[in-house]
A and B are shown apart, each in its own frame.
Chain A
Amino acid sequence: MVRLDQVAVTLGARWVIKDISADLGGGVIGLIGPNGAGKSTLVRAIAGLIPSAGAVLVDGAPVTALPLRRRARRIAYLPQGQSVHWPLTVERLVALGRLPHLAPFARPAEGDKQAIERALARTDLLGLRDRAIDELSGGERARALLARALAVEAPLLLADEPLAALDPAHQIEVMALLREEATRGATVIAVLHDLTIAARWCDRLLLIDDGRLVADGDPRDVLTADRIGSVYGVSAFIGEADGQPLIVPLAH
C-alpha cells in the first residue's frame, strides 16, 4: 500500500525526518515516539502535503505525483488538532469527506449519502447530526472529525493523534473503529501517545526518535523497557493484563 524509501523531510534548515524506509500495508499501524520526534511530519509527508526527499509510494506511484482528487479518494487524513472554521452541523462536516468523490457540479449521489450515514452510525453520531460543531463536547467533536475522515472511505487512513482529548471509554471506542477499518481491508496509520493502547490495539508499531525509525515491528518487540528508557527517558513497568501488554511509565 505505502512504501517509504529513504524518506527525509526538511523544515527550514533542520532535517525533521531522516532516512526512513518501511513497507506499510494492512492493519492498524501505530506511529509512536516522543514529542517533536517527527511523527506528524512523517504523516504529512505520507499524505503528500509536504515535499520529501526519497520516495513515498502509494500503490507504487509517488504520492506527490498523484492527481489531487484521486489522491484524496485514496488517502483520508485526519490532522492533529483539526480546526473547523465555521460552525457547521455534524452532518455537513462529515459530508465534506465526500468532496473528493463528487464530480464537478454534481450533487451528492445515493452512494455518498450512504457513506455519510455509515460514518455517522459508526461514530455513534446519528443523534447529533444536526448539532453545530461548536456545540459539541470535546469527545463528540473528536468523533465528528473522525467521522469526516471515515466518510472518505479511503483504503488508507492517516489519523494524527485521534485519541487526544478523549476519555478512556472513547479512546477504546475510537481504537475499535480504527481496527474495524483495518478489518474492512484499509491500512490505518495512527499517531499515538498512550503506549498501552498502542501495544494493545496496533498490529505493528513504528517507533520514531529524532526523525529516525528506531524500531519497527510487533508491539511486544518494539516496546521493551530498554527502548522506552532510551527514547522517552523514562523507566517503565511492562506487565500484562488479560494476556495483553500493560505499560506504565514510572519515573525519569
Chain B
Amino acid sequence: MTKSPVRLDLALALLALLCAAVSLGIGPAHLGWARALAAVAGRGDAIATTIVWQLRLPRALLALLVGAMLGAAGAALQGYLRNPLADPGVLGTSSTAALGAVLALYYGFAAISPLTLPLFAILGAIAGLVPLLLLAARSEGPLALILAGIAIATAAGAGISLALNLAPNPFAAVEIMTWLMGSLADRSFLHVWLALPCIAIGLGVILLESRALDALTLGEDGATALGVNLKRTRTLLLVATAIGVGGAVAVSGAIGFVGLVVPHLVRPFTDRRPSSLLLPAALGGAALLTAADTLVRTVPTLEEPRLGVVTALIGVPIFLHQLVRARRQW
C-alpha cells in the first residue's frame, strides 16, 4: 500500500515485464523459459529463435503496447471528462475503429494483405473523430462530448450489426464476430511496427497534457483560470486517444474493460491526481493484458479463448472486490 509514485511505477513495470517473460515461455511448442529467453537475447538455437522472434515476441510486445495504451487512455479520459465511468470506448473511437476493421473483413479487403485490416481500423478511428471534434468545438462541457461519443458508438455499432446481418455467408459472420472479441494470435512484427507509432503518439500526447488534466479537477473555469488552454487540450487529447486507441484496436480487435478498470485498480495507490494515474494505468494495463494473453494460451481448450473475454474475466472479480472494499468508488 505504498503511495510513493516511483515505487508504484517500478512495481507495476516489474509486474508487466514478469508477465511478458512468462508469456515468452508459453506456447504450443514447449521451449522452456531458458531456451525462449536465450532466443530473445540472440543466443538461442535456430528453432527457438524462429518461434520466439516470429511468434512470441511480437505477441508479447503487442500485449504490452495495447494494454498500456488502453490503460492510459482510460485514465486520461476519466480525468478529462471528470467521470469515473469513462473508458477508451466512451468517445466512440474504438467502435469506429472496429467498424473500419469489420468493413475490411466484410468486403474482403482484409484478405489482400495482413496490414489492410489494421489500416482500415485506424482510418475508422480517425473518421469517427471528425463528428466528435465538430460537436466538441461547439460546447465546453464534458457531458456533450460523452453524449456525442455515445451517438457515434451507437452508429458504428449499428454498422457492425448491419455487416453481420448482411454477411454473405456464416463464415464471414463468424470471422467478424471472432475479430470483434479481440485476439493477439498470429501477429507479427509488421503489426508491432504499425501499432507502435500510433501508440507512441497517443501515450506521448496524453503524458504531455497531464498538468491540464490536474487543473481540470477544478472544472473548466478553474482550469482556464490556472492558465490551461482548454480548446488545445481537448483537441490534442481527442486526436491522441483516437490515434492511439485506433492503433491498438487495429492490431488486437476490441478489448473491453482494460481501459475502464485499470485506472480504478491503480487509483487507490496514487494521490488521486489525474496526472499521477497515467503512468501506473499504462503499466497496469500492460501487465493485465499480457497476463490475459498468457492465460488464453495456457487454458486447455480446443479453441483459444478470446482476449476480450479473458480480460473481462480477470478484471471483473478484482474490480468488484475493490468496489466492495473501497470506501470511495473512484
Which A positions have Cβ atoms within 8 angstroms of B? Answer: 44, 47, 49, 68-73, 75-77, 79, 82-89, 92-93, 96-97, 99-100, 102, 132, 134, 148
Contact = CB atoms under 8 A, between A and B. Distances in A.
A148 B227 CA distance: 14
A66 to B, nearest CB: 10
Given A71-B227, A73-B227, A75-B225, A99 B273 contact: no
Most buried by A among B82, B214, B217, B273: B217
A47 B82 CA distance: 23
A96 B215 contact: yes
Nearest to B219: A83
Contacts of A96: 214-215, 217-218, 226
Most buried by B among A49, A69, A96: A96
B45 interface: no
A85 B216 contact: yes
A249 B160 CA distance: 66
B226 A47 contact: no
A134 B217 CA distance: 13
A228 to B, nearest CB: 31
Contact of A72 (B219, B226, B330): B226
A79 B217 contact: no
Interface in B270-294: 271-274
Nearest to A75: B225
A79 B211 CA distance: 20
A236 to B, nearest CB: 33
6 contacts: A44-B221, A49-B224, A68-B224, A85-B218, A86-B273, A134-B328
A92 B211 CA distance: 13
A84 B330 contact: no
Interface string B200-219: 00000000000100111111
A221 to B, nearest CB: 32
A20 B272 CA distance: 42
Contacts of A76: 225
B211 A86 contact: no
B222 interface: yes
B225 A82 contact: no
Given A99-B214, A99-B215, A79 B222 contact: yes
Nearest to B78: A86
Given A72-B226, A77-B225, A132-B272, 18 more contacts: A68-B227, A68-B229, A72-B227, A77-B221, A77-B222, A83-B219, A84-B217, A85-B217, A86-B82, A86-B217, A86-B273, A86-B330, A89-B271, A96-B218, A99-B214, A99-B226, A102-B211, A148-B218
B26 interface: no
B17 interface: no
Contacts of A93: 217
Contact of B328 (A68, A72, A82, A87): A87
Most buried by B among A68, A82, A85, A86: A86
A93 B328 CA distance: 18
Contacts of B229: 68
A42 B264 CA distance: 39
